[in-house]
Amino acid sequence: MKVGRNEPCPCGSGKKYKHCCLAKEEAESPEELAWRRVRRAIDGLASALLRTANARFGPTALDEAWEEFNLWEADEPFDYETPYLQVFMPWFLYHWLPEPEETEVPVEAHGEVAARVHLRTAGKRLDPLAARYIEAALGVPFSFHEVLACTPGRSIRLRDVLIGTEAEVMEASASKHVEAGDLLYAKVVPIEGIAMLEGCSPVALPPVAKPEILAAREKRALSHAFPRRGVRRGPRRRALLPLGQGAHRRRARRPGERHRQPRGPLSRTPRLARTRCREPVPCRA
């Protein structure tokens, strides 16, 4: 939505737009202007998607998703104060669907993720740019990304370790805490000619973790080329399961408990996110 010159500035300063951010924006690059347009359009979107998720899935959904995020080894129920919120919440909103056999979510809500439901039901109330952002975010999975270059306070150049694509990500906060060679587990959304971080692991992995990620990729490719006999490969396998905080541990199954196979090609390597890390990587401060 275009802001008029004499309207209050969207930054909240109380000044007119022409006396505040307009001059700054006119001096900014096309990429920075696109970033500002997208940020304005998706302001409050995560909260709206969460309301849709709660209405669609019911009160137990967050705890069920949190259990799966941790490969069913969570010691505590979901807490909004978790340091993994910035990777868990985008996965929950854009990727999570309940387990049909073990869920309290109504059957009619099993077929669509929360973001897709919001896109369908919000209709004309949804900003067109926000709608395009949701579509773009629905089309990309979480993946491991190598930092190729970094401009602190502005952007990060990333290469997807799994498929080799590169993107210049506009990200003010995370760009201050990473350096070339680091690895980020993130969801990179292409939109309006730029790329944005929708979700990112709370820690950066050092370069020594890359061989293990590549080994997991090769193992996954080999398992697809030569599937084991008798293994059922249903249509609802997740592209990537985010890195849960307790997923490197394994516990014995309780009596009568059904075996739950972690879904996703890298679901057995999340311990990478807890090792050899320097400091938290905030996104969208």
pLDDT in tens, 15-70: 888 788 776 666 678 888 899 999 999 999 999 999 999 999 999 999 999 999 98
- pLDDT the model gives residue 250: 37
Residue 232 confidence (pLDDT): 38
Which position has the higher pLDDT, 275 or 228? 228
The pLDDT, as a whole number, for residue 139 is 95
Residue 260's Cβ-count burial label (10 Å; 0-12, 13-18, 19+) is middle
Q: What is the pLDDT of residue 107?
A: 92
User: The whole model's pTM is what?
Assistant: 0.74
Q: pLDDT digits over 106-159, tens only?
A: 999 999 999 999 999 998 899 999 999 999 999 999 999 999 999 888 899 999
Question: Does the pLDDT of residue 84 top 50, yes or no?
Answer: yes
The token pair that represents 33 in the structure block = 């202007």
